[in-house]
Amino acid sequence: MDLLKDKILKDGIALNSEVLKVDSFINHQVDVNLMKEIGIEFANYFRNKNITKVFTIETSGIAPAVFTSLELNVPLVILKKQNSKILNDNFYTTEVKSFTKNTTYNLTLSKNYIDTNDNILIIDDFLANGEAAKGAIKLIENANAKVAGIGIVIEKAFQPGRNFLEASGYDIYSLARIKSLDNTKINFID
Ligand code: G4P
């Protein structure tokens, strides 16, 4: 998506060869006009897949997911990173390890917001190692619902997330695929 790539080149900062800082338009301040266009782009790609719900993971997946669900006219469900103390039998839960942040959290989903007829589009801001996406998939499949596809705003293609998810047969649509961040230079896969 050229609009997004131009924005990344203009305002993104390669902190090092692994991490792209996009605080000024995705992770902290949010460019809602860009998010709206991103939502339209995801919706157009997945429109004929009979999506029943959009799922995302708090926090930074929420903005692009809102506009995608609005455009597809389906509910949005936010998977939460919750403290295990509040969990009970009414939740699906799975542990997710973040290699980038070196943290572990419980990703949770209330059983009230999914059923076996659901065909779900997962939207997230970054795909790195794929752990968050794997966690979301696990919750959906534990509920015997289907994953219709995965929409990613920024994919770090030099990390293994896509390979694993593709090998498992999921349809991944990334709007910007980063080949490398070496020497503070941002390179895309065309
Ligand atoms: P994975 O899910 O693909 O395995 O990614 P990983 O655990 O490595 O990433 C954990 C968190 O770090 C996620 O945010 C992810 O969006 C973010 N992240 C990964 N790589 C980058 C990067 O290059 N730049 C930025 N800005 N973020 C990155 P999170 O903890 O879920 O945070 P948030 O959604 O609450 O903001």
Give the CA distances from residue 15 to residues 29, 94, 181, 187, in Å, rounded to whole numbers and listed in that order.
18, 30, 8, 14
pLDDT digits (tens, 9 = 90+) for 38-71: 999 999 999 999 999 999 999 999 999 999 999 9
- What average pLDDT values come out for the chain (190 residues) when binned by 10 residues? 98 96 98 98 98 97 98 98 77 92 92 98 98 98 98 97 96 98 94
Q: For residue 19, which atom of ligand 1 is closest to its CA?
A: 23
Distance 72 CA to ligand 1 centre (A): 25
Residue of minimum CA distance from atom 6 in ligand 1: 98
- 134: its two tokens: 């794997």
DSSP state of 26: I
Q: What is the DSSP string of 118-184?
A: -EEEEEEEEESSSHHHHHHHHHHHHTT-EEEEEEEEEEETTSSHHHHHHHTT--EEEEEEEEE-GGG
Q: For residue 97, which atom of ligand 1 is closest to its CA?
A: 7
pLDDT digits (tens, 9 = 90+) for 83-93: 766 667 899 99
Q: For residue 126, which atom of ligand 1 is closest to its CA?
A: 16
Distance 101 CA to ligand 1 centre (A): 7
Residue-level length of the chain: 190
Pair 80, 58: CB distance under 8 Å: yes
